[in-house]
Amino acid sequence: MKYWQDWNRKYRAELTGNIMPFWMEHGFDRKNGGVYTCVDRDGSLMDTTKSVWFQGRFGWMAAYAYNHIEKNKEWLKASKSCCEFLEKHCFDPADGRAYFEVTAEGVGLRKRRYVFSECFAAIAYAEYSLASGRKEWGEKAVELFKRIRKFVAEGDKYMPAKYEPALKAQGHSLTMILINVANVLKQVSDDPALDAQITESIGLLTKYFIHPEFKALA
C-alpha cells in the first residue's frame, strides 16, 4: 500500500507542480485557442505549427485533471479552448477527417492516414463534457466516434493501406486506441456503438495479438 501511496504523491506533485504549470504558461495559446506543441524545454516557442492530436490530448488531460485532481478553473478553460479549437478549425469539411497539423490560427496543413487525431478529439470532448456539465460535448464525442468507425470500416476510401497487397498485416495500435476511446465515452453515453467497439477490439486482440506462449502482446 505504501508503494502505491508514494507513487501517487510523486505523480500528483509532478502533474500539478511541473507539467500543468509548464504547458499552461508556455503552450496554452490564449490568442488563437488551443495549445502550441513545438515548445522547447525552456518554454520558448520553436514553431507555431500545431499538432492536432495534441489539441485533443491536452484537452482531455486538462479536463481529466480538473475532474480527478483539482477543480482548477484555468485547466477547465484550457480544455474548453482546445475542444473549441478542434471543432472550429481541425476538421476538413470536405470529408470530415481531422487534419494532422494546422497553423497557429487553425489553417489545415496536412492530413495522415491514421485516425489518432480524431480519437484524441473524441476523448477530449467527452472528458470536457464531464468537467463542464455541457452534455452537447458528450454528444459531439459520440458523433465523432461513429465517424471514426466509418473511416475504419471503409478503410481504403479514407485510410490508404500502409503496405501493398502482397503483404498482409495489421497493427494493434488502432485496435487498442479504439477500445480506450469507447471506454472514455461510456462515461457520457450508453450508445450501443461503444460496447460494439469494445467487444470487437477484445476479439481482435485475443485472436491476433495475444501470444500466451511468449507471454506477450505482439
Q: What is the CATH number of the domain that holds 86?
A: 1.50.10.10
- Name the residue range of residue 48's domain: 2-160
pLDDT at residue 10, as a whole number: 95
- The total number of structural domains in the chain stands at 1
Strand partners, 211: 216
Place of cell 490564449: 30
Examine residue 13 and state whether it is found in any structural domain, yes or no.
yes
**What is the pairing mode between strands 101-102 and 50-51?**
antiparallel
Task: Of 131, 41, 130, 147, give the one whose Cα is nearest residue 92.
Answer: 147
pLDDT at residue 16, as a whole number: 96
Examine residue 188 and state whether it is found in any structural domain, yes or no.
no
Q: How many angstroms separate the Cα of 8 from the Cα of each of 11, 22, 93, 214?
A: 5, 20, 43, 32
Interval 29-59: pLDDT, tens = 999 999 999 999 999 999 999 999 999 999 9
Examine residue 109 and state whether it is found in any structural domain, yes or no.
yes
Examine residue 195 and state whether it is found in any structural domain, yes or no.
no
Interval 93-113: pLDDT, tens = 999 999 999 999 999 999 998
Please report, as a single letter, which amino acid is at residue 32.
N
Examine residue 189 and state whether it is found in any structural domain, yes or no.
no
Examine residue 168 and state whether it is found in any structural domain, yes or no.
no
Examine residue 68 and state whether it is found in any structural domain, yes or no.
yes
pLDDT at residue 58, as a whole number: 98
Examine residue 53 and state whether it is found in any structural domain, yes or no.
yes
